[in-house]
Amino acid sequence: YGARPLRRVIQRLIEDPLSETLLTTKFSAGDSVLVELVDGQITLTPVPKQREPKAEKPEKPEKPEKPEKPLIEPVAGKGKGES
């Protein structure tokens, strides 16, 4: 068999039934189609996208207390623009 006859078989056995399934069945964005060989027949089964449960909003963390001393202390000396 060559590429063209193989292409026609794929089109007849998979693509055409898949097109009919897409037109007659409700699909949502991201859904898949399972293609299986069952008892010598190709079957197409819609597989819904697994929906992730909505995450609960995390509780707001408590504001940390301000340290008594600054973590970074200024250094005495010449800086930019100082003479």
pLDDT, tens only, 17-45: 989 888 887 777 788 888 999 999 998 88
Residue 25: predicted pLDDT: 77
Instruction: Evaluate whether 14 touches 37 at the Cβ level (below 8 Å).
Output: no
Phi, psi of 4, deg, nearest 5: -65, -45
Every domain of the chain and the residues it spans: 3-47
Residue 39: predicted pLDDT: 94
Average pLDDT over all residues of the chain = 80
Residue 5: predicted pLDDT: 94
For the whole model, what pTM was predicted?
0.49
